[in-house]
Amino acid sequence: MSGDRLRVLVVDDHAMVRSGFTMMLSVEDDLEVVGQAANGAEAVVVARETRPDIVLMDVQMPVLDGIEATRRIVAEDLGRVVILTTFDRDDYLFDALRAGASGFLLKNAEPEQLVDAVRVVGNGSGILAPEVTSRVIERMAAEGPPTSRTPPPGLERLTEREREVLGLVGRGLSNGEIAGRLFLGEATVKTHVSNLLAKLQVRDRVQAVVLAHESGLVSAED
């Protein structure tokens, strides 16, 4: 973050969409649009040049799609990605999350939802559109853990309580709900979540949900 402003890169193959998002964000005192890109390949280049805090990423674009662009941007730690699409499709959603996206919103979201999403992700959390949150949980639980995948590094470093908290995060519970379930203070739960994210080396809560399901901490029965 530059000063008190979150730096945003807007990526979409339609100029009018880019302009609309740019205008929407630029009126906010704490947000600054530092670049635009018309395809995924251009997005990677501009991200390297501008080092944004947040990349608002379309999915279907020429040259390089938003999923692969997200994978490259996250791999180079060039910024945190929020996927924006008109297509409410599961394959986009899960591909984006596994590519390292920190959020997923539909383009028909209200303007204040978009602005809030930028702030939430920019401050280190993750966000999913309400329409798709439950589907993330349901589909990943139904798929079960991959039998051939090595457990993620850091999982063995978690304390018993942290593993318990991670399992509840994977089931979609908020910090407040976890606190009530485990009879803990919400501040204590927040500390556990911060610690497990650091140990697992995941960027945010959204990626923790993915990891909890893929490592088998959350099963279909849960």
User: Does residue 148 sit within a domain?
Assistant: yes
Confidence of residue 39 (pLDDT cuts 50, 70, 90): very high
Is it the case that residue 88 has pLDDT exceeding 90? no
DSSP 64-98: S-HHHHHHHHHHTT--EEEEEES---HHHHHHHHH
Q: Tell me the per-residue pLDDT of 94-137, one tens digit each, with 9 for 90 and over.
A: 788 888 888 888 888 888 888 988 988 888 776 666 556 566 65
- C-alpha 93/C-alpha 160 separation (Å) is 31
User: Does residue 152 sit within a domain?
Assistant: yes
Q: Name the pTM for this structure.
A: 0.73
| pLDDT given at position 67 | 94
Same domain, 197 and 97: no
Same domain, 189 and 116: no
Residues 6+ apart with CB under 8 A from 22: 10, 33, 36
Same domain, 65 and 111: yes
Same domain, 115 and 86: yes
Host domain of residue 123: 6-128
Q: Tell me the per-residue pLDDT of 165-217, one tens digit each, with 9 for 90 and over.
A: 998 888 778 888 899 999 999 999 999 998 998 898 887 787 787 788 777 77
- C-alpha 116/C-alpha 146 separation (Å) is 34
